[in-house]
Amino acid sequence: MSNQKNQTFVRRLGFALAGLGHALRVERSLRTQAVVLALVVVLLIVLRPGPLWWAAVMLASAGVLAAELFNTALEALADHLHPEQHPRIRIVKDCAAAAVLIAALGAVAVAIALAVHVARR
């Protein structure tokens, strides 16, 4: 296994894209979230909100995707290290899933705020 710290930026970017590609292949929820993000971008193009709304929506969306990727990585590591079910591993996995839920709820809050803003224009 190579040391990723001393690699070029392009090579490290390749590692990150490989991880994203793997997660998209194996995680249905990540694929669903990616499709939702694409639809949200189309909706933003149609609604044409200001740049701060774009930033808020993109940050919220990135937070959801990042949380899902961390959850995927943590679950894969936990399953590799301890393939049998274990109560403490279950707690770790449940907490990681809760992080995704919290990020998603934050994104929904941004979406509601945007909808209210658009409705009042």
CATH number of the domain that residue 69 is part of:
1.10.287.3610
Give the residue numbers annotated as catalytic, written as ranges.
Answer: 68
Mean pLDDT of 8-32: 96
Domain count, the chain: 1
Q: Is residue 40 part of a domain?
A: yes
Residue 61 falls within a domain, yes or no?
Answer: yes
| Two tokens, residue 108 | 């929904």
Instruction: Please report which confidence band the pLDDT of residue 4 belongs to, taking 50, 70 and 90 as the band edges.
Output: low
Classify residue 99 as exposed, middle or buried by CB count within 10 Å of its CB (0-12, 13-18, 19+): middle
This prediction's pTM: 0.89
Work out the average pLDDT over 104-108.
Answer: 97
Is 66 within the bounds of a domain? yes
Q: Is 75 inside a domain boundary?
A: yes
Q: How far is residue 37's CA from residue 59's CA, in Å, rounded to a whole number?
A: 11
The answer to whether position 98 is within a domain reads yes
SS3 content of the chain, % helix, strand, coil (to 5): 85, 0, 15
